[in-house]
């Protein structure tokens, strides 16, 4: 049996249910085709080029689970009835991971690793990466960079809950979450968590995500397309300025590097230069993940677009870029088409979250649980339509908030009134 994680084991039955519903429907969107073909190209590359065939087969199976099944769950099992419940659960589960993350930052050790290694006897590392004399917060999300992406994307999704509370529709967020949102505790904790990962890519991308949220959800300007144009101009300008600064910051000799952060940036610049011709040499099917010929001691490929090109070749790279483009295109179209303000706000929050993802993976790899999270969100976005946010009467909301089990209220879905 393939060495699946607990998250993947939980995903498999749900994924097959979603996939069966999608197949029975018999009508496929462009993104459906792109995702399936991309997963097939990944499997082909791994089977053809992995140094050990069995490892290639396992990688192909893992790609099917993390890409196709995760996408199918988002595509068929959430919209339209479970939108609010899913966002609430997503935000709360990520918030629950912050407490052990603070211990990582302070103690410079991973609590999950300590428990797994010392109590369960598993081969797990107890250590975390260090920067500026503190641990880099990564918790259960696969490291500081994937953790930073997850926290930043969750901040953007939480913005929709903040919007719902601000416009005061009859929607019950649950007793605990309502209190957190009232004092902006959730958003502030998520911002703090991104900062404590000490990962610069998610921090920079979150600025872009915040611009999208702040401008596009600003009700004083009604023309959505004009607001989109302003955001696009700001993002392009920011990208050009950041690129210029990056070139200047890394234009130093190896022996003139001032600190670990500049050394990391210099590594990324050299990595992009060294591996670009190797990616081209891989042809249409690439080298496979384990078959990438590492050179000059650069073992980590901290650019997921480059990693896709190297591992899965020109075919996988083109398909991945098409998936990126189609994802953003669908979100833009939904933002223009939705008439209801709550639906439009949700589309904008999703757009900000995915912008964080696509920008950040220019500087990091898509590791940990991020492949499952990312493709689940892509499927969710593809099925996004006019929402059916579960509404409650004032009496129901008061009754819910008087319930002593606040944790139960966070995770339970209020029934819509008839």
Q: What is the pLDDT of residues 53-98, one digit of tens each?
A: 999 999 999 999 999 999 999 999 998 889 999 999 999 999 998 8
DSSP-assigned letters across all residues of 256-301: G--SHHHHHHHHHHHHHHHHHHHHHHTTTT---TTT----TT----
- Residues near 370 by beta carbon (within 8 Å), at least 6 away in sequence: 141, 142, 146, 149, 150, 357
pLDDT-based confidence at residue 352 (cuts at 50, 70, 90)? very high
**Whether the predicted pLDDT of 166 surpasses 60:** yes
Q: What is the pTM of this model?
A: 0.87
Question: Across-strand partners of 44?
Answer: none
C-alpha dihedral over 218, 224, 225, 230, to 10 degrees?
Answer: 0
User: Would you state the structure tokens that stand for residue 360, as one six-digit string?
Assistant: 């950040």
Helices (H) and strands (E) in the chain, counts: 18, 2
Q: Once rounded to an integer, what is the mean pLDDT over residues 171-198?
A: 87
**Rounded (to 5) percent helix, strand, coil in the chain:** 70, 0, 30
User: H or E segment at 223?
Assistant: none
* Residue pair 317/41 in contact by the 8 Å Cβ criterion: no
C-alpha dihedral over 170, 80, 379, 151, to 10 degrees?
Answer: 20
């Amino acid at each position: 049996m393939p060495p699946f994680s607990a998250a993947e084991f939980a995903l498999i039955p749900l994924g097959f249910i979603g996939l069966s519903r999608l197949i029975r429907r018999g009508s496929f969107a462009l993104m459906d085709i792109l995702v399936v073909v991309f997963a097939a190209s990944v499997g082909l590359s791994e089977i053809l080029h992995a140094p050990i065939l069995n490892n290639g087969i396992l990688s192909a199976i893992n790609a099917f689970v993390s890409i196709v099944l995760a996408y199918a769950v988002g595509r068929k099992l959430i919209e339209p009835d479970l939108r609010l419940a899913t966002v609430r659960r997503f935000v709360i589960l990520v918030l629950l991971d912050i407490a052990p993350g603070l211990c990582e930052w302070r103690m410079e050790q991973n609590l999950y690793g300590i428990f797994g290694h010392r109590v369960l006897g598993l081969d797990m590392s107890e250590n975390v990466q260090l920067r500026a004399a503190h641990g880099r917060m990564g918790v259960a999300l696969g490291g500081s960079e994937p953790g930073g992406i997850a926290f930043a994307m969750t901040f953007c999704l939480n913005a929709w809950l903040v919007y719902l509370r601000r416009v005061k529709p009859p929607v019950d967020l649950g007793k605990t979450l309502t209190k957190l949102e009232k004092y902006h505790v959730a958003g502030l904790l998520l911002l703090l968590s991104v900062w404590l990962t000490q990962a610069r890519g998610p921090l920079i991308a979150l600025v872009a995500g915040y611009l999208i949220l702040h401008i596009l959800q600003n009700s004083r300007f009604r023309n959505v397309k004009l607001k989109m144009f302003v955001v696009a101009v700001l993002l392009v300008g920011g990208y050009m300025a950041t690129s210029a600064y990056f070139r200047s910051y890394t234009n130093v000799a190896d022996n003139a590097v001032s600190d670990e952060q500049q050394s990391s940036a210099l590594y990324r610049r050299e990595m992009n230069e060294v591996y670009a011709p190797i990616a081209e040499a891989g042809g249409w099917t690439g080298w496979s993940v384990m078959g990438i010929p590492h050179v000059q001691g650069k073992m980590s490929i901290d650019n997921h677009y480059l990693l896709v090109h190297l591992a899965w070749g020109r075919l996988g790279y083109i398909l991945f870029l098409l998936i990126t483009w189609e994802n953003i295109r669908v979100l833009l179209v939904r933002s223009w088409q939705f008439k209801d303000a709550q639906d439009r706000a949700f589309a904008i929050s999703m757009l900000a979250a995915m912008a964080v993802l696509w920008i950040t993976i220019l500087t990091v790899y898509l590791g940990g649980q991020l492949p499952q999270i990312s493709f689940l969100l892509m499927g969710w976005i593809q099925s996004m339509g006019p929402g059916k946010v579960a509404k409650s009467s004032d009496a129901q909301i008061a009754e819910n908030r008087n319930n002593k089990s606040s944790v139960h209220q966070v995770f339970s879905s209020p029934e819509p009134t008839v």
